[in-house]
Structure 1
Amino acid sequence: MDFTFENELNDKIALVTGGSKGAGKAIADRLQKAGATVIITARNKPENETNGIHFLSADLSKPDGTQKVVDEIVEKFGRLDILINNMGGSETPGGGFAVLSDEDWESTFQTNLLAPVRLDRGFLPGMIERREGVIIHIASIQAKLPLYDSTLPYAAAKAALVNYSKSLSQEVAPNGVRVLTVSPGWIMTTASSRMMERIAERSGGTTEQATNSVMKALGGIPFGRPAWPEEVAELVGFLVSPRAAYLTGTEYVIDGGTIPTI
């Protein structure tokens, strides 16, 4: 069969967690355009729904939430071919180690590490039985470049996710299942744009100056700008496609050159 952008994921069923906005929404849209049946999860229903994309409301930071998603997808669709563990984030206070409670650490690890682990555990048996499937873990360059004063638990959780993803890939590759990690740098989502506007208002400068100040705080982005969500989505779209059939166990960094080391 000759694969094209429009049909290479025909007959595939894909789940994108945190798929209602930002990079998650871009990934969901990209997979649907390639022919996949796409399901997204989030706590709240998206403001702007995309026709043909199925929505499941769930709090994946709780075991009951992940089990609900597994059960409903298996019941309604019979299987899952592509799992994009995109949900993540940091809501802990800045200020370094001294201000962080056990609850801050636990909630961050539930969202950024244990939710993907539970979903993998729920869907992998079916993938292994069929001897096909792709799992993508969306991590972060903070796994290698942690910001100790603002997102210490998040960075630690993402580092654990990268390690877990590599180990899992080695376990399931003989069963025909591919596991990969995508680690973005700063992505210019709608939320990021609003943050730049707020910084500009407080400082009396422009949004361009605010963006440059944040890039400087990150150590600089050689490409000169953050990534667009669609650029991350394009990488994910390739990795889950038949064109990437021999790729597994690898971390793909998409950061505009932010990480300064090999």
Structure 2
Amino acid sequence: MEQHFNFNNELSGKIALVTGGTKGAGRAIAERLLQAGATVIITARNPPEKHDGNMHFIPADLSKTTDAQKVISDILSSYHRLDILVNNLGSSVTPAGGFAALSDEDWESMLQANLLAPIRLDRGFLPQMIEQKSGVIIHIASIQGKLPLYDSTLPYAASKAALINYSKSLSNEVTPKGIRVLTVSPGWINTNASKAWLGEIARNANSSIEEAQQGVMDALGGIPFGRPAEAEEVAELVGFLVSPRANYLTGTNFVIDGGTVPTI
């Protein structure tokens, strides 16, 4: 069957939610969907540094059940539906030092932010998507779901691995009902937070930013592409996956890491 797509305005009429959408990759994703013609809603605990009247901002801490329910209720009451859900929110704030340095609270906070928050939103929006027999859900995971760094981000890696597994299972259930579910697993992304982190590493080691970046890439086992991803590169992949051009894609984990993961 021949299909024709309008790449310039291909998401016109679609309602999209991007969690963690005020900065970094989340902001880039939100801007990419807006450029494609979607009505874009963003959530985060803090408002965006630069206000954009073209996006509807809902303040929320999605690790809390009450805040997640507020986001669901606000969107469905204001827009009556959601067509695209990008679960981008992620957190990795636990102490380094391996298993012995981690408390129950550390594990619980990572599971709440990285696994249970997207599950709550999926559960809230899926009934309406199923009723309209269309919708796309994207889970932003991480290559650490397959390539964990046990000494620094163990709970984050474990929660993202669980998210990848959950996403595949959910796709098997709801794809026959018209809903596409996909996972995107980025490697290291060059964001303002990442740049600040590199600056801290460089100061502590009395080294240059370039040396600090190389040290991080070495810790990852190397990045064949030679640099971290730009947020806009991740956003471009998400923009394609939620578009009509990706109609036959579901249940797949798309890795965007510059070749970091050493296995196929």
2:206 corresponds to: 204
AA matched with 2:260: T
Please show how residues 59-208 of structure 1 align to structure 2 within 5 Å: 59-208=61-210
Q: Report SS of the residue matched to 2:218.
A: helix
Can you list the C-alpha shifts for 1:190-216, whole angstroms capped at 9, x where unaligned? Answer: 110111122222223221111111100
2:14 corresponds to: 12
Q: CA deviation at 1:121?
A: 0.2
State the distance in 2 between where 1:209 and 1:169 align.
Answer: 42
Can you list the C-alpha shifts for 1:99-157, whole angstroms capped at 9, x where unaligned? Answer: 11111111110000000000000000000000000000000000001111111111110
AA matched with 1:160: A
Which deviates more from structure 2 when the two are superposed, residues 149-158 or residues 194-203?
194-203
1:29 corresponds to: 31
State the distance in 2 between where 1:7 and 1:219 align.
Answer: 40
Q: CA deviation at 1:89?
A: 1.3
State the distance in 1 between where 2:208 and 2:94 align.
Answer: 28
Percentage identity across paired residues of the two chains: 70
| Runs of 4 or more consecutive aligned structure 1 residues displaced over 3 Å after TM superposition | none
Can you list the C-alpha shifts for 1:63-115, whole angstroms capped at 9, x where unaligned? Answer: 10110000000011110000000001111111111111111111110000000
Can you list the C-alpha shifts for 1:155-178, whole angstroms capped at 9, x where unaligned? Answer: 110000000000000000111000
Q: Report SS of the residue matched to 2:43.
A: strand
Q: CA deviation at 1:51?
A: 3.3
How many residues of Structure 1 are paired with residues of Structure 2 in the alignment?
262
AA matched with 1:119: L
State the distance in 2 between where 1:125 and 1:187 align.
Answer: 33
2:229 corresponds to: 227
AA matched with 2:221: G
Which deviates more from structure 2 when the two are superposed, residues 77-86 or residues 45-54?
45-54
State the distance in 2 between where 1:74 and 1:184 align.
Answer: 30
Unaligned regions of 5+ residues in structure 2, if any?
none
Structure 2 length-normalised TM: 0.97
Structure 1 length-normalised TM: 0.98
AA matched with 1:178: R
AA matched with 1:251: N
AA matched with 1:38: V
State the distance in 2 between where 1:3 and 1:174 align.
Answer: 23
Q: Report SS of the residue matched to 1:83.
A: strand
